[in-house]
């Protein structure tokens, strides 16, 4: 099911519009087509600072437009360089709540030339919805996005 979106992802990334417009469309594609993806966004390293800055996203606006490295799930991925799958956010101590409806989260780092420059972050209102298929799909999305950055 997720793999059926792969050609759509590459089509969007090939469009002759700004990078932010393309990333915005990717967020909307994922949110609209995957029922348990309730918030989809990109965070990128904010210049040389040890913090993440929110980029394009689809879903409710969040207060967390800047996240220091190490803080929350996103900030941890900025330093670990590893996928982080959270089946139940209540079980996490180092978690930044964006909305009370969110039950689970997945964050996949985005590498450009081997450097962790950001991540894709998905929040879900469903408990424990993510599996290895989501990880592989989102890794592919990030690899394709890296090509246009």
Binding mask 108-127 for ligand SME (x = CB under 6 A): -------------x-x----
Query: CB of residue 52 vs ligand SME: minimum separation in angstroms?
Result: 8
Q: Both tokens of residue 60?
A: 């409710």
Residues with Cβ within 8 Å of 119's Cβ and at least 6 positions away in sequence, in order, are 42, 43, 52, 74, 77, 78, 107, 108, 109, 110, 142
Q: Count how many Cα atoms sit within 13 Å of the Cα of residue 47 in the half-sphere of its side chain.
A: 3
Please give the residues from 63 up to 92 whose contact with ligand SME meets the rule CB under 6 A: 64, 67, 72-75
Rounded-to-integer distance, Cα 41 and Cα 31, Å = 10
Query: CB of residue 11 vs ligand SME: minimum separation in angstroms?
Result: 26
Which of 105, 130, 137, 138: binder of ligand SME (CB under 6 A)?
105
Binding site for ligand SME (CB under 6 A): 39, 41, 62, 64, 67, 72-75, 95-96, 98, 105, 121, 123
């Amino acid at each position: 099911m997720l793999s059926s979106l792969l050609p759509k992802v590459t089509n969007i990334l090939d469009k002759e519009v700004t990078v932010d417009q393309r990333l915005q469309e990717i967020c909307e594609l994922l949110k609209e087509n995957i029922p348990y993806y309730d918030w989809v966004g990109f965070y990128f390293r904010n210049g040389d600072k040890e913090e993440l800055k929110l980029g394009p996203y689809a879903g409710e606006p969040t207060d967390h437009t800047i996240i220091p490295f190490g803080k929350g799930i996103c900030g941890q991925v900025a330093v670990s360089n590893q996928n982080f799958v959270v089946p139940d956010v209540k079980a996490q101590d180092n978690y930044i709540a964006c909305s009370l409806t969110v039950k689970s989260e997945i964050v996949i780092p985005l590498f450009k030339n081997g450097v962790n420059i950001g991540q894709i972050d998905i929040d879900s209102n469903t408990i424990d919805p993510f599996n290895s298929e989501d990880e592989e799909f989102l890794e592919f999305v990030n690899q394709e996005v890296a090509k246009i950055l």
